[in-house]
Amino acid sequence: MARLEVRLLGDPVLRRKAEPVAEITDAVRTLLDQMLETMYAEDGVGLAGPQVGESVRVIVVDPREEEQPALALINPVVIAASEDTSRREEGCLSIPGLSDVVERPAEVVVEALDRGGESVRIEADGLLACILQHEIDHLDGVLFLDRVSPLKRKMLLNKWQKVKPEEAKG
């Protein structure tokens, strides 16, 4: 398997709404495998198609908890979210070096297809709920920076100008 290049803040693919997967092919399954390999190599807990330059609605997630195996999800949708919220520090493989506390629903229900085309329903709370929401946001062109106050976002973007990797300075 080949690791994929993680796209960084500033790449237009990160701001586009990803297209649904119409048919689960070997190419889609290979993409999911490569995304998992890339996520582990980058020491991440989630990765979305747009983050590797593929504007399709696929995500991989692994909170690295014993009771929760890694997930590879196609066309995931949050179908329910709790009114209760939780605050958790989030970072992003597409914005290395930056993190901040984001408030999101504490519990979500996500429906998707698995790599075999079977429908799956995931009821999640804690870290898994946070990761699922973060990665599904990527499919809609939304970054965690969009979930913080305008002042905090400005501060984070100023910091990004100082810490961003050379390939993002382009």
Catalytic annotation, residues:
135
Q: Based on DSSP, count helices (H) and strands (E) in the chain, helices before strands.
A: 4, 7
Q: What is the three-class DSSP state of 139?
A: helix
Distance (Å, rounded) from C-alpha 64 to C-alpha 70?
Answer: 8
From the centroid of its chain, how far is CA 21? 16
Q: What are the CA-CA distances from residue 29 to residues 38, 64, 72 (Å)?
A: 14, 21, 9
Question: Measuring CA to CA, which residue among 100, 71, 94 is closest to residue 142?
Answer: 94
